[in-house]
Amino acid sequence: MSGNNVSHSKRKTKRKFLPNLVTKKFFIPEMDRWVSLKVSTSAMRTINKKGIFAYLKDLEKKGEIKLISEE
């Protein structure tokens, strides 16, 4: 997303609104492994609410990721 920085004198310069991304390691007990994901802080709240495995399953249903199981 883009917009303007507006100074006190109302001078406008272009700027970008970037998502708040964090690289975080999660342990998935169902797969018995650690994964490192770059997620937004709002996605981290969803992971805390649903659980990491359920969240990844939902993303797989939407077609956004593909889970690889080591079975």
5 lies in some domain: no
38 lies in some domain: yes
69 lies in some domain: no
Mean pLDDT for 23-40 is: 93
Q: To 10 degrees, the CA torsion angle through 50, 55, 58, 59?
A: 150
Q: Are 12 and 3 in contact (CB under 8 A)?
A: no
8 lies in some domain: no
Q: Count structural domains, the chain.
A: 1
Mean pLDDT for 9-31 is: 95
1 lies in some domain: no
* pLDDT given at position 69: 66
Whether 46 shows a pLDDT value over 90: the answer reads: yes
CA distances from 50 to 3, 42, 57 (A): 34, 13, 11
**Residue linked to tokens 């199981």:** 69
Which range of residues forms the domain containing residue 36? 18-62
10 lies in some domain: no
Q: Which residues pair with 36 in a beta bridge?
A: 25
* pLDDT given at position 31: 87
7 lies in some domain: no
